[in-house]
Chain A
């Protein structure tokens, strides 16, 4: 458990550094630019409300990116250790689990609350959005769990094709939720094309962060395995 946590934090820190750098070099300038466009287009200057300078925002946001990676990595390590026996995929288990994490933490909330393009305004206050966001993370976790459980169950008895089919059902249900969900953003800050491009950027960067965590985690985890410190018998593993 402690070894897994260590691997997770290391993976998270490395992935977080890359992600923080990405936030610094790509996200901040893009957000700045889009907000600039938005404040010139309409009269709801989103950037007028800032109480700190742009440099501070960029630096702290990059640091936030690093911490975000560490947070996800730590949670990933512990949860992976607990749920590993139930995961399909053999050698690819960390990737399966990272996909589940991405689904729960990012994709599920996005079905109702899509990533806000700079310049758009949320329709509802944060008192409604915060519980909704947390609730959707739980929903995403349930969807991922049902999907994985369905796959392992069905592929054992009815073959792999049936397993994949059953695994897709919860994902399709989540997709339907995104279609029937009412819009939560307003404002014409950016054009539809720019808005879509920004959302793809956000989506791919989060998916990349999870993938990086899984890659690095798997590397460290195998190292522990080879050294024998990650012994399968619980008695041989110290609690530190």
Chain B
């Protein structure tokens, strides 16, 4: 693995400097959308179709 000696704070600072807020927000929104669809979507069609998956993954919100 890498032999660098930077800290967690350094990594956050670097990420903050390299990635502009809009990109970060877009990425976060995509992740949230995917997570929401898989875990919490209550719309009957999508909800029922993902039924087995939620059982299998042990996600309670089914």
Contact = CB atoms under 8 A, between A and B. Distances in A.
Interface of A: 1, 22-23, 26-28, 31-32, 49-52, 56-58, 60-62, 64-65, 67-68, 70-71, 74-75, 81-86, 90-91, 93, 106, 109-110, 113-116, 118, 122, 126, 129-130, 133, 184, 199, 201-203, 205-206, 221-222, 225, 230, 232-234, 237, 239
Nearest to B11: A82
A contact face: mostly helix, strand, loop, or mixed: helix
A113 B60 contact: yes
Interface string B4-31: 1111101110110111000000000001
B49 to A, nearest CB: 4
Contacts of B55: 27, 31, 115-116, 118, 202
A92 to B, nearest CB: 10
B48 A71 contact: no
A1 B19 contact: yes
Contacts of B42: 126
Contact of A1 (B3, B7, B15, B39): B15
